[in-house]
Chains A and B, each alone.
Chain A
Amino acid sequence: MNNIKVKAKDLSLRYGASLALKNISMDIPEKMVTAFIGPSGCGKSTFLRTLNRMNDLIDNVTIEGEVHIDNVNIYDKNIDVVNLRKKVGMIFQKSNPFAKSVYENIAFGPKINGISSKEKLDEIVERSLKQAAIWDEVKGRLHNSALSLSGGQQQRICIARTLAVNPEIILMDEPASALDPISTAKIEELIHELKEEYTIIIVTHNMQQAARTSDYTAFFYLGELIEFNKTELIFSNPAKKQTEDYISGRFG
């Protein structure tokens, strides 16, 4: 196993009075793909969103326990959430490019970080789009609206936009669930390339996708982490009956 990048320690989360995550502890390795699977409402997306503190935006959420990234507790009082989110990027289920040009979408992150030189921005935009494997498709229309692109292209624009701020971890919340099979294949291929440099955590409903793309898989059920192991072991020889039932399609 590679170095541990993310370490959750007894993490519990409540929406008001209802307990959505129960004492989650897990170690997520660096520069690998970790998949979260489980039926709807099992807490996998909620857990994903604790890793860049997106749950802070929701009223009424209380969190206990700790999440360490590079051995720093991100729920510590002194943590700057803005810096945390630069380090931990996020791709959402529904592609959400801004109603701006392709170029402005990618340049958004660098610009809010104070980069204003046109040359530097051009360079970042080109590099990020190339990394997200969409440069060839959009290089001729960088100044067209990002919303004029197809759904699959929009999602890759969102990935490029995240890469442009140089994150170390990329969280993906069902990034391909709204896409057709060809676009999905492109995203999966991209995930495979990106793990050379980034730690990737992906939530997915699609078990084949988890099996294809990930090195490690975590199975969540009713707010609990049931099982976490190497993907090939989870799918070939799960230790828990609930995991086996879920991956063999007996429920969920």
Chain B
Amino acid sequence: MNRNLKDTIVESLTGVCVLLIIFIIVSILAVTIVGGWPNLNWAFLSEFPRDGMTKGGIFPAIVGTALMTIIMAVAAVPFGVITAVYLAEYASEKSVFAKTIRFAVKTLAVVPSIIFGLFGLGFFIGFIGKNMDTIINGGQLRWGQPNILWASFTMALLTLPVVIVSVEEAIRTIPKEMREASLALGATKWQTIKRVVIPGSVSGILTGTILAVSRGAGEVAPILFTGAAYFLSDVPHSLSDQFMSLGYHIYIMSTQSSNVDATQPIQFATTLVLLLLTFSLNAIAVTLRYRIRKKAQ
């Protein structure tokens, strides 16, 4: 075949693929906005579901999702940062231990999310929660059942690799010269990490956190057995309460509702809220990163 023709074909093929991706994104947005926008109003955001969840708003699902992602971030970020610091600063490249951790992090990243759900059910609820009940709760059932704490912890495990990878990347971009400058001034290794390495990695830590939050906000499988509820008449008041979540609410509305057709407007509007939430989180991440980089220069 003519070489120029080949070139043209390859170029057109790449162009078509790009167009396809743009088409997919645009159509998701268009369908969601057209279907959801008319139903999106203050009442929808601030009211509880009514009439067997065929009317009303999604207030408890918004609150539940927000609380769950906050607890998740509080658990996952420090843990992920500490692991990343260990991998980047302390572990020797050749040590078997570091290689094992790296392998574990990679494996964790590809475990199907439903498996995390099952793990959370078995470990947090069945093991830790049950034992907590026996030891501190006089055998009464409180922690040995699904709740927002265990759901958040389960979600934290799922998002941990995201945090570790982005923080470690950020740490590795800090030039060797910066560490040497600090050590040459008589700083200990820990002082160097605390005052040079971690402040220099803030953008990476922030990126990791926000990526984890936007992933955690939309994921459903890990919280299915560990804390998400079908319907609640109140928002959670304690870590041992169950909660409603946006992603799970969409699933219920579209498959488990008594009248799926009647809830279509709610489904679209809920999807739109979830999309807006994750998009704005990402927008915040990008802006913060930009500001930090600008300040650093």
Contacts and interface: CB of A to CB of B under 8 A. Distances in A.
B221 interface: no
A148 B186 CA distance: 25
A165 interface: yes
Contact of A85 (B175, B177, B186, B196): B186
B195 interface: yes
Contact of B184 (A52, A83, A98): A52
A89 B185 contact: yes
Interface in B187-234: 187-188, 191, 195-196, 199-200
Contacts of A111: 195
Contacts of B186: 82-83, 85-86, 109, 112-113, 165
B189 to A, nearest CB: 9
Given A96-B175, A98-B196, A54 B184 contact: yes
Contacts of B180: 54, 57, 90, 92, 96
A59 B181 contact: no
B181 A112 contact: no
Contacts, number: 69
B92 interface: yes
Interface string A187-216: 000000000000000000000000000000
A145 B296 contact: yes
Nearest to B174: A99
A109 B183 CA distance: 10
Interface in B89-119: 92
Contact of B185 (A57, A59, A148, A162): A162
B297 interface: yes
B178 interface: yes
A112 B178 contact: no
A69 to B, nearest CB: 14
A99 B200 contact: yes
B88 to A, nearest CB: 14
A61 interface: no
A99 B195 CA distance: 11
A85 B297 contact: no
Interface in A54-94: 54, 57, 59, 82-83, 85-86, 89-90, 92, 94
A11 B182 CA distance: 26
Interface string A104-126: 00001101110000000000000
B295 interface: yes
Contacts of A98: 178, 181-182, 196
A138 interface: no
Nearest to B185: A109
A21 interface: no
Interface string B158-191: 0000000000000000010110111111111001
Contact of A158 (B181, B200, B296, B297): B181
13 contacts: A82-B186, A98-B182, A98-B196, A99-B178, A109-B185, A112-B195, A145-B297, A147-B296, A147-B297, A158-B181, A162-B184, A165-B185, A165-B186
The 5 closest A-B pairs by CB, nearest first: A86-B186, A96-B177, A90-B184, A109-B185, A85-B186
Given A85-B185, A86-B186, A96-B177, 9 more contacts: A82-B186, A90-B180, A97-B181, A108-B182, A147-B296, A148-B297, A161-B181, A162-B184, A162-B185
